[in-house]
Amino acid sequence: MAKANESATIDKSDNSIGKSPAESSVLVVGAGGIGCELLKSLALCRFRSIGVIDLDTIEVSNLNRQFLFRREHVGQPKATVACDSIRRLCPSINIEPFHGDVITDPRFDISFYKRYDLVINALDNVQARQHVNRMCLLCSKPLIDSGSTGYNGQATLILKGRTQCYDCIEKPKQQRTYAVCTIRNTPSQPIHCIVWAKFLYNQLFGDNDDPNNEDVTPDADDPENGTNGQEAVSSTTENGHHRISTRDWIQAEMEEFQPVRIFNKLFFDDINYLTTMKNLWEKRRQPIPIQYEQARQIQEKTLNGQSDHEQSATPKLNDQRIQSINEYAQMFIESLNELKQRCDKQRQAASSSKEPAFLVWDKNDDADLRFVTASANLRAYIFGINLTSKFDVKSMAGNIIPAVATTNAIVAGITVLQARKVLATLPRSSNDHTLTSIKQLTNVFISTDRKTGAIIQSIQLEEPNPSCIQCSDLEQPVRVRLNMSLFTLHSLYERLIRKHLKMNKPDVIIADGSGRILVSADDDEDEEMMLKTLDQFKLINGTILLCEEEYDDETNEALLQHMKIKLMLEHTDTITDKNEYIIVDDQVIGEIKQIKQSLKRKHIEDDDDDDDNIQHLDDYQNEINIVKKTKKLSTSHDEHNNGPMHTSFVMLVDDQASA
């Protein structure tokens, strides 16, 4: 690979407002398919200061399109190897790798993002994109979000307050869901069998205490079975075809562990039970149960009458070949034995460490993939469904989005052009990231749908969604400084949220795209959990919490029950008191005060007797007045002090005073 021309000089006579690539620093999040192309293009376009974040390590399957990696790099961090390859291409470049999770790694806080002029996403999952979107909004940094799916792709601009952010448009669900009764009783597609096989993996080796782990046993309450369900249950007992719950049966069976018995239970006994549910098979092909010894004799591997000769006409890799039922039966037993040994070792390790005592299915683990492939195809054969290669099972079970190297290269090239346009609108001042003009900026999409016109299209930038929870000015976060390693969940909820912000009992949700509830208003408090520090929940500098409380017209317990408040947590080691925190922006508190006052007027009209709530507002007004006069409250506390209830652990300051 030829080195970039280092002799080229940068024109310093340019008096334009914008920054040149050599003067700018860029953060690239993701070093995969698009990321490799992007880093190469940035280096060749004279970008000289680049940071690269990626969590993953290199796999063999990456080598066909992620050209910065070679076979000897398998198992090494993508970010590190990508940066080494770019340095060989362009020795003078300043490129720094960061191997870690962009969402949970404490290194990637607000101050980290502030080091860069521009951020570029080259990610393949929604949750990470949402997190980077939030961080760039908080820092007012321009963000370019690049992505591809098959032959389609895009490079969209996100500019705080001037364009739509990543969360302005609701994203489609990434994973389809299937009716449980279809999975357990009446599969009709290969994906149904694959989902069942993953359920089975969790039943055998996963967390048995997880209520979300579905039972793979036939569902006797299938609504399609109608009123004959109970008749079927009673008749099967007489005929010896009992319904035995796999969830219950497996506990004792895994102690004795006889793989052939497990095979016969899943593919013979359970299938025999299903055949007694007559209503299910009136318009369907009835499944044919098979025992292990029978399966070992079946050499069949045809699909819908397709002959072995026709299947072998096109050369295929081993993982792309459809195998015989005999081979899948053998694969099932071998992978079952291997996973049982691994599970036993995992449980032993868990007894002396904090490691989980169960296995988690991984599409990149060969034993995991072989088990699901064998289980799915054995079930598919029983139900007369097309068999699926190991290669396709990995794609379907791992929800892998197809990637095309050519599309990635086109997207990367367009993204670099977008980056140069954005930088051309940035002031040269390192402290000012306000774009001077966005008239020449557009979003760019790549589409093979010729109905839309050209393959590559520039689309006008859209205005921000006024109801977007992330970028709307109607809901600015309250910035709170605290020590994550000392401040407990109890202090956050009881002292900051309930006492200070005067919320009654809200839900507290981590706004990272996962929808994870930190505290639920409907559940009883877990004392052990509430005593944990915030860093134990993987909350980092810049984490946003959404506090939501619905209004209760009947009890009227709190004036703010219909209100939403966002908290942005900022970590600092300078606070050494576990109960101390700092509200950074009293302007936001003033806005909350105005909302409270408007609510006060409303509730005075509705209920003149609501003295308690009005008194809370009066207390809050007194606190605001104290803040305006002193800018800082003493942390010393006298138990008999009748002042504001939170002065023992709160300081309220503005940005200048805290700098």
Task: Walk across the sheet containing 152-158 and list its strands.
Answer: 94-99, 49-54, 25-29, 118-121, 143-149, 152-158, 442-446, 456-460
The band of 592, judged by pLDDT with boundaries at 50, 70 and 90, is low
Ligand-binding annotation for 347, yes or no, is no
pLDDT at 199 over 70: yes
Strands 581-583 and 650-652, bridge-based pairing: parallel
For the question of residue 181 being annotated catalytic, the response is yes
pLDDT digits (tens, 9 = 90+) for 546-585: 888 764 444 444 433 356 788 888 888 888 888 888 887 6
Segment 441-461 shows an average pLDDT of 84
Segment 186-193 shows an average pLDDT of 91
Segment 2-30 shows an average pLDDT of 65
pLDDT at 232 over 70: no
pLDDT at 144 over 80: yes
Segment 621-648 shows an average pLDDT of 34
The band of 19, judged by pLDDT with boundaries at 50, 70 and 90, is confident
Segment 189-204 shows an average pLDDT of 90
Cβ neighbors of 518 (< 8 A, separation 6 or more) are: 489, 508, 509, 510, 537, 545
Q: Name the more confident of 221 and 407.
A: 407
Q: Name the more confident of 277 and 654.
A: 277
pLDDT digits (tens, 9 = 90+) for 173-185: 555 566 677 888 8
Give bridge partners of residue 155 from the DSSP assignment: 146, 444
Q: Name the more confident of 553 and 489.
A: 489
Q: What share of the chain has pLDDT > 70, as a percent?
A: 70
Most confident stretch, 205-219, 304-318, 473-487:
473-487
Q: What share of the chain has pLDDT > 90, as a percent?
A: 32
Segment 194-223 shows an average pLDDT of 79
Give the active site residue among 83, 181, 343, 547: 181
pLDDT at 635 over 60: no
Segment 392-407 shows an average pLDDT of 79
Q: Name the more confident of 398 and 434.
A: 398
Most confident stretch, 342-356, 429-443, 552-566:
342-356
Segment 407-433 shows an average pLDDT of 84
User: How much is the pLDDT for 562?
Assistant: 52
Average pLDDT, the chain: 77
The band of 486, judged by pLDDT with boundaries at 50, 70 and 90, is very high
- How many other CB atoms are there within 10 angstroms of residue 4's CB atom? 18
User: How much is the pLDDT for 413?
Assistant: 96
* Spatial distance between the Cα atoms of 234 and 491, rounded to a whole number of angstroms: 57
Ligand-binding annotation for 36, yes or no, is no
User: How much is the pLDDT for 364?
Assistant: 83
pLDDT at 348 over 70: yes
Segment 13-22 shows an average pLDDT of 66
Ligand-binding annotation for 428, yes or no, is no
User: How much is the pLDDT for 9?
Assistant: 39
CB 99 within 8 A of CB 77: yes
Angle at CA of residue 112, ends 111 and 114, nearest 5°: 65
pLDDT at 398 over 50: yes
pLDDT at 650 over 50: no
The band of 618, judged by pLDDT with boundaries at 50, 70 and 90, is very low
Segment 516-537 shows an average pLDDT of 84
Ligand-binding annotation for 130, yes or no, is no
pLDDT at 68 over 50: yes
User: How much is the pLDDT for 87?
Assistant: 96
- pTM for the whole thing? 0.56
The band of 156, judged by pLDDT with boundaries at 50, 70 and 90, is very high
Ligand-binding annotation for 399, yes or no, is no
Q: Domains of the chain by range and CATH?
A: 2-171+402-460 (3.40.50.720), 180-397 (1.10.10.520), 478-658 (3.10.290.20)
pLDDT at 609 over 50: no
Ligand-binding annotation for 468, yes or no, is yes
pLDDT at 116 over 70: yes
* Spatial distance between the Cα atoms of 508 and 498, rounded to a whole number of angstroms: 11
Most confident stretch, 23-37, 211-225, 429-443, 535-549:
23-37
Query: Which DSSP string do the residues of 382-431 spell out, in sequence order?
Result: HTT-----HHHHHHHHTTPPPB-HHHHHHHHHHHHHHHHHHHHTS-S-TT
Lowest model confidence (mean pLDDT) among 161-175, 538-552, 642-656: 642-656
Ligand-binding annotation for 206, yes or no, is no
Q: Name the more confident of 230 and 294.
A: 294
Ligand-binding annotation for 32, yes or no, is yes
User: How much is the pLDDT for 193?
Assistant: 93
User: How much is the pLDDT for 577?
Assistant: 87
pLDDT at 399 over 90: no
Ligand-binding annotation for 126, yes or no, is yes
Ligand-binding annotation for 143, yes or no, is no
Ligand-binding annotation for 233, yes or no, is no
User: How much is the pLDDT for 623?
Assistant: 40
Cβ neighbors of 115 (< 8 A, separation 6 or more) are: 25, 27, 51
Give bridge partners of residue 51 from the DSSP assignment: 27, 96
Ligand-binding annotation for 369, yes or no, is no
Segment 188-198 shows an average pLDDT of 91
